[in-house]
Amino acid sequence: MGKLFGTDGIRGQANCYPITPEVALQTGKAMAHVFQARGHGTKRAIIGKDTRLSGYMLESALTSGLVSLGMDVLLVGPVPTPAVAHLAKSMGAAVGIMLTASHNPYDDNGIKVFSHDGFKLSDEIEAQIEELVLSEEMSSEHIRSEDLGKAYRVEDARGRYIEFAKSSIANESLDGLKVVLDCANGAAYLVGPWIFKELGAEVTKIFAEPDGFNINNGCGALHPETVGEMVRQRKADVGIALDGDADRVIFCDAQGNMVDGDRILAMCALEFKTQGKLAQDTLVVTSMSNLGLHDAMRKAGVRVEVTDVGDRQVIERMRADRCNLGGEKSGHVIFMDYATTGDGILTALQVLRLMKQQGASLADLAKCMTEYPQALVSLRVVEKRPLEDMTIVQKVLERCRQDLGKDGRVLLRYSGTEPKVRLLVEARETAAVERWVGEISSVIHKEIGA
């Protein structure tokens, strides 16, 4: 067996290692062993999922593993990832488990795990679970039949999350707002439209008919042009595109123009700063955020903390520095005053509240920062050789850095979840971005390209 946990839980192609029922069963047993040993005073585990066909297989296998060692399992069905984090905390569970591969196609799946406090597991706990699974020690661990756990479905789980999400804007009205909501045929297809309608918005829902195969297929946060076109057709005020597990969101304004996580973070940080609500006067972002965001924050007197890529890294820095706002350009936004993880629906509610309170369009709010020209490309690779060991690659990166100087940057890193390398080039001039993307991509393709 190979390593299980990656940058965001366990992920891979469904029914191939490690996303198999055999591994899921052993992972369930390992989780039961670890979390009962940690003594949180509860034997309760929560399992949610998105809409992938393979979710049924993994749900059954994980449940079997957990109950076989005495855990009681609450099955909450298709709900957003942040709903599982919230329910784990609010329902007194020892662990919350979400079956999802986020923005990936239907034939991938994964296991995201949250602790009793709603935060993702520490490296230490992940290592304990992984060691037990890989050692196959759990295969021989059994308990008395009278001590087995139970599994049952929780019918009001979605309702609990809906009320939580609405409370994040103190039940303010969204009357008068016309919204197009792209549910990505994913985890939010039920709760998403319900939340916005209950708050008074006029909602046109699209891609809200999952069939097990169509999650993220030409829709959702990776395809905002789809919701943008519908916004123009329906003459709506805003388009909201969630990803498959609804932990992130990308917007479109009334003209169909994309508004990404950087602009959302900027407008929210400026509002929090004005109201004296921005903890430590600090915004936490990743290395992928646009330099224009840094410029806007500097002018407003907001300090910017930069982490490695990943919402987990952002959250860890936020907790360490006691910050309440952070996120990623990709649309993961964390409002720590309300939630313990990125939440696309909660983020959308904050943006709509801001539009209502200021009487401003999303396009007007998005003018709070000016982006540098930027290109982010994903290149498929046949192997993940250490980038620092590839002399030719390092030489072209160094030439790029010298050329761009202080007015730009280049970043190259492997994806933590896919056989790809991510290339980011940013500069004041579009021509420079295009030139260096082409040159670096060519070198990468020759060295390790698929």
Of 152, 139, 154, 160, which is closest to residue 72 (Cα–Cα)?
A: 152
* DSSP code string of 176-201: T-EEEEE-TTSTTTTHHHHHHHHTT-
Is the CB of residue 58 less than 8 Å from the CB of residue 99? yes
Classify 12 as helix, strand or coil: strand
DSSP tag of 154: -
- Per the annotation, the verdict on 102 as an active-site residue is yes
Number of neighbouring beta carbons within 10 Å of residue 3: 9
Catalytically annotated residue among 54, 68, 102, 330: 102
Using CA atoms, how far apart are residues 47 and 84, in angstroms rounded to an integer? 7
**Which stretches does DSSP call E strand in 5-137?**
5-6, 9-13, 44-49, 72-78, 95-99, 108-115
Of 315, 255, 254, 238, which is closest to residue 284 (Cα–Cα)?
A: 315
Report how far apart, in Å, the C-alpha atoms of 123 and of each of 5, 98, 263, 410 are. 9, 18, 31, 29
Of 89, 79, 99, which is closest to residue 40 (Cα–Cα)?
A: 89
**Which stretches does DSSP call E strand in 231-307?**
238-242, 249-252, 258-259, 282-286, 303-307
Number of neighbouring beta carbons within 10 Å of residue 323: 22
Classify 283 as helix, strand or coil: strand
Is the CB of residue 182 less than 8 Å from the CB of residue 239? yes
* Matching residue, tokens 């992972």: 27
Q: What is the largest CA-CA distance in the chain?
A: 70
Positions annotated as catalytic residues are 102
